């Protein structure tokens, strides 16, 4: 059936609020008329390159107007937008391009070295640099200036189930998976945000998180365009500049992770910045620490927190500001058009307060992963609930509490790190016989990855060895910040590493200091040595 897919949103906004400011980026600003015209020009340009319904268009770049113009321009054609995390290493980018079946790439010139191997492997002939470029190699901005917006292909038809975005998320088996996000997914997550965060058309939202993440896109940019608010977009986060922009533009809404808010509060301009316009702060990635709550509440500011994942587009629950204290530790109630249940070990609904696997359902929940039918078969229950892999419980009022992460996910500064992906590379290091990657508390990033290794007798392994081996293979934020050498990894009867034991042992020690822990931490009766700033860790002979 015909459906107002997200590709039509800019044009619908142009008809309703043509002269309202849609986007501010540095010294540039765009009205909704200009925003929609730019998206139409992108659609025309893509069509001239042979892009049509179902074709994948990858974008490799930091936050910019061109990112959003390309998203909506591709959607206008019924094509699929593939935002690529700019922190990925070249082999990871290559995987995304290949798995998504990308036909055209738009890339920041400074990131070309990450993209080039994948373009060559895929045989992609259409690659457009961002910016103006030059006469010989014109960039997207220059090309759009040569196109008449009135010639843009018009395609208002779009089924709810039509894919709009392939959003790649770190994989538990060592390869990232493409979550298929549809028109319906992105529409309903936007509506959930508008309802539960009480977004207004007068909203001025400062977006400082990367748009290639589901949170900034699905819970930031899209709801604002749908509602007709104003986006103040930053290429990347700088705390001093962010404070200045809040005051200059009368920002009403700010989103980030706990680290974001800590860096803002630690900045010398914090006390002198006028924050009177701010009326909502949203935080994801992990719970807001009490010390940050205290700092912001002293300025009359409260947080809305929540829980979700790429597969839920991403928001699925929300803890509104009025419950920040009385439900501290909770991630809130399901969004208005979402549902949560807890499954016990027997697969049946768990009792109130009983820990089990969190299962999610709603129109914001994705239909599955791209090209992974076997994974999809196990990702959903027989009655259609998505198995999140996270553990939690519901209280008597229906508020969700996260108890543990079944998948051992590490969240560092808002970035997801799956240990299995890192461990697969650690086993390639000569002499390593066992590897476990865990998250340990960190004051700045919330968590950072550590590697706990066993090695062959006589083998020496240094932090530098590990980091140099992983450099270029995986994103920098996934590389362990410390290495621990142990005689034996604790395991279950079935042979699985007991990571909870490792976190309890090393995480507690790390939480007590901001520097790498020293040597000689006991693991039962065995010798344990750690490598932080120390050059070498040796297994005792």
Pair 359, 388: CB distance under 8 Å = yes
> How sure is the predictor about 424, in pLDDT bands with cuts at 50, 70 and 90?
confident
**CATH number of this structure's domain 317-407:** 2.30.38.10
> How sure is the predictor about 2, in pLDDT bands with cuts at 50, 70 and 90?
low
Count Cβ atoms below 10 Å from residue 149 Cβ, excluding itself: 17
- Does the pLDDT value for residue 512 go beyond 60? no
Reported for 273-276, long-range contacts at CB under 8 A and 24+ positions apart, including other chains, are 273/243, 273/244, 273/246, 273/247, 274/246, 274/247, 275/246, 275/247, 275/299, 275/301
- Does the pLDDT value for residue 395 go beyond 80? yes
pLDDT of residue 518: 28
Question: pLDDT tens across 314-350, in order?
Answer: 999 999 999 999 998 899 999 999 999 999 988 899 9
The residue that leads in pLDDT, 420 or 199, is: 199
What is the average per-residue pLDDT within 130-138? 86
- Does the pLDDT value for residue 539 go beyond 60? no
Count Cβ atoms below 10 Å from residue 87 Cβ, excluding itself: 15
Question: pLDDT tens across 251-304, in order?
Answer: 999 999 888 998 999 999 999 999 999 999 999 877 788 888 999 999 999 999
Q: Rounded to the nearest 10 degrees, how much is the dihedral formed by the CA atoms of 420, 424, 429, 430?
A: 120
pLDDT of residue 289: 81
What architecture (CATH level 2) is domain 410-538?
Answer: 2-Layer Sandwich (3.30)
CA atoms within 13 A on the CB side of 120: 8
* List of E strands, 386-494: 386-394, 400-405, 410-412, 415-417, 432-442, 446-455, 460-461, 482-486
What is the average per-residue pLDDT within 344-373? 95
Report the alpha-carbon distance of residue 31 to residue 10 in Å, rounded.
Answer: 10
What is the average per-residue pLDDT within 234-248? 97
Report the alpha-carbon distance of residue 34 to residue 418 in Å, rounded.
Answer: 41
CB burial class (10 A; 0-12, 13-18, 19+) of residue 512? exposed
The residue that leads in pLDDT, 121 or 453, is: 453
Report the alpha-carbon distance of residue 184 to residue 170 in Å, rounded.
Answer: 23
What is the average per-residue pLDDT within 186-208? 97
Kind plus residue range of the DSSP H or E element containing 307: strand 303-308
pLDDT of residue 515: 28
pLDDT of residue 511: 41
Question: pLDDT tens across 66-85, in order?
Answer: 999 999 999 999 999 999 99
Pair 437, 495: CB distance under 8 Å = no
What is the average per-residue pLDDT within 391-419? 87
The residue that leads in pLDDT, 108 or 533, is: 108
> How sure is the predictor about 4, in pLDDT bands with cuts at 50, 70 and 90?
confident
Of 254, 334, 246, 328, the C-alpha closest to 288 is 328
- Does the pLDDT value for residue 99 go beyond 90? yes
- Does the pLDDT value for residue 521 go beyond 90? no
Say what percent of the chain tops pLDDT 90: 70
The residue that leads in pLDDT, 411 or 480, is: 480
pLDDT of residue 517: 30
Between the CA of residue 278 and those of 205, 250, 264, what are the distances in Å?
9, 8, 14
pLDDT of residue 535: 28
Indicate the pairing of strand 230-233 with strand 177-182: unpaired
CA dihedral sign of residues 224, 225, 229, 235: positive
Convert 241-279 to b/e letters by CB count within 10 Å (16 or more is b): ebbebbbebebbbbbbbbbbbbbbbebeebeebebeebb
DSSP 491: B
The CA radius of gyration of the chain, in Å to the nearest whole number, is 24
The residue that leads in pLDDT, 115 or 520, is: 115
pLDDT of residue 495: 63
446-455, strands of its sheet edge to edge: 432-442, 446-455, 482-486, 528-531
pLDDT of residue 403: 81
- Does the pLDDT value for residue 519 go beyond 70? no
- CA–centroid distance for 12 within its chain: 28
- Does the pLDDT value for residue 507 go beyond 60? yes
Say what percent of the chain tops pLDDT 70: 89
pLDDT of residue 388: 93
Domain ranges of the chain: 317-407, 410-538
- Mean pLDDT rounded to a whole number for the chain: 88
CA atoms within 13 A on the CB side of 439: 26
């Amino acid at each position: 059936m015909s459906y107002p897919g997200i590709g039509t949103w800019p044009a619908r906004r142009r008809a309703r609020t043509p002269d309202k400011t849609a986007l501010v980026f540095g010294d540039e600003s765009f009205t909704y008329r200009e925003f929609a015209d730019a998206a139409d020009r992108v659609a025309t340009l893509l069509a001239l390159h042979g892009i049509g319904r179902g074709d994948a268009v990858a974008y490799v770049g930091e936050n910019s107007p061109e990112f959003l113009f390309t998203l909506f321009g591709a959607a206008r054609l019924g094509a699929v937008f593939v935002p690529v995390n700019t922190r990925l290493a070249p082999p990871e980018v290559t995987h995304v391009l290949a798995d998504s079946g990308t036909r055209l790439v738009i890339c920041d010139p400074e990131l070309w070295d990450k993209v080039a191997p994948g373009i060559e492997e895929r045989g992609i002939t259409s690659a457009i640099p961002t910016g103006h470029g030059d006469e010989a190699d014109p960039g997207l901005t220059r090309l759009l200036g040569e196109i008449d917006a009135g010639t843009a292909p018009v395609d208002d038809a779009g089924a709810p189930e039509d894919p709009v975005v392939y959003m790649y998320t770190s994989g538990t088996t060592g390869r990232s998976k493409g979550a298929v996000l549809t028109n319906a997914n992105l529409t309903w997550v936007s509506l959930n945000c508008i309802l539960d965060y009480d977004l207004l058309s007068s909203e001025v939202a400062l977006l400082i998180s990367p748009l290639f993440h589901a949170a900034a896109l699905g819970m930031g940019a899209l709801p604002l365009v749908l509602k007709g608010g104003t986006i103040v977009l930053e290429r990347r986060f700088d705390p001093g500049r962010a404070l200045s922009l809040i005051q200059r533009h009368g920002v009403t809404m700010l989103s980030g992770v706990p680290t974001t808010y800590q860096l803002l509060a630690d900045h010398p301009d914090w006390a002198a910045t006028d924050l009177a316009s701010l009326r909502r702060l949203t935080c994801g990635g992990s719970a807001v620490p009490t010390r940050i709550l205290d700092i912001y509440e002293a300025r009359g500011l409260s947080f809305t927190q929540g829980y979700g994942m790429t597969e839920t587009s991403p928001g699925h629950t929300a803890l509104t500001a009025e419950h920040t204290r009385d439900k501290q530790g909770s991630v809130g109630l399901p969004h208005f058009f979402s549902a949560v249940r807890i499954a016990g070990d027997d697969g049946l609904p768990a009792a109130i307060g009983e820990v089990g696997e969190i299962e999610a359902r709603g129109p914001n929940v994705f239909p599955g992963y791209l090209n992974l039918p076997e994974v999809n078969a196990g990702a959903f229950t027989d009655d259609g609930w998505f198995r999140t892999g996270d553990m939690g419980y519901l209280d008597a009022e229906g508020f969700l509490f996260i108890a543990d992460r079944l998948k051992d996910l590490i969240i560092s500064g808002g970035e997801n790190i799956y240990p299995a992906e890192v461990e697969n590379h650690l086993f390639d290091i000569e002499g390593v016989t066992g590897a476990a990657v865990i998250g340990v508390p960190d004051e700045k990033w919330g968590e950072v990855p550590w590697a706990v290794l066993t090695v062959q007798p006589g083998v020496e392994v240094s932090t530098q060895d590990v980091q140099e081996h992983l450099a270029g293979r995986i994103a920098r934020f996934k590389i362990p910040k410390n290495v621990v050498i142990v005689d034996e990894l604790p395991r279950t009867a079935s042979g699985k590493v007991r990571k909870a034991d490792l976190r309890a042992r090393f995480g507690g020690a790390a939480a007590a200091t901001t520097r790498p822990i020293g040597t000689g931490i006991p693991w039962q009766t065995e010798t344990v040595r750690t490598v932080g700033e120390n050059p070498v860790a040796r297994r005792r002979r």
